[in-house]
Amino acid sequence: MYQSVTVVGRLGRDPEMRYMPSGEPVTSFSLATDRVWSDKDGQRQKETTWFRVSVFGKSAETVNQYLSKGKMVLVEGRLRVDPKTGGPAVFTRQDGTVGASFEIIANTVRFLSPRDEAESGHSESDSGDQPAEDIPF
């Protein structure tokens, strides 16, 4: 059996690299995807879905070196379920509402933001939409 997921979004924070006991590098970052639509009353609605991404090996070093908060990437990989829930990791936000995030073990990370993109993480042609909330962990 096989599973694969492809997600395009923006980094919610700078990547963090650490090393496994074996010495293999692993880099983690949060990725936000937004879905925007108009409801039946014509009001603009926005839904943000968060993913936690882990990248291993040489790719982990490259991701850590070149990516930063706000950069757009395409991630291909597999979902890892939370052993407690059998699905996404569930958490409570500071305002008391419940949220969930999914974990992706990346096989591929493609950089979509231009190299000369401003520190803000957006090029001039972008719409300027940022993730609606900060990742809780």
- CATH number reported for the structural domain that contains residue 37 in this entry: 2.40.50.140
> Tokens standing for 109?
């990370």
Q: Does 31 map to a domain?
A: yes
Q: Does 136 map to a domain?
A: no
Q: Does 126 map to a domain?
A: no
Residue-number span of the structural domain to which 68 is assigned: 5-111
* pLDDT > 70? residue 12: yes
Q: Give pTM, 2 decimals.
A: 0.76
Q: Does 10 map to a domain?
A: yes
pLDDT tens digit sequence for 33-91: 999 999 999 999 999 988 999 999 999 999 999 999 999 999 999 999 888 888 888 88
Q: Does 76 map to a domain?
A: yes
What is the secondary structure of 83-115 as a DSSP string? TTTSSSEEEE-TTS-EEEEEEEEEEEEEE-S-T
What domain count does the chain have? 1
Q: Does 117 map to a domain?
A: no
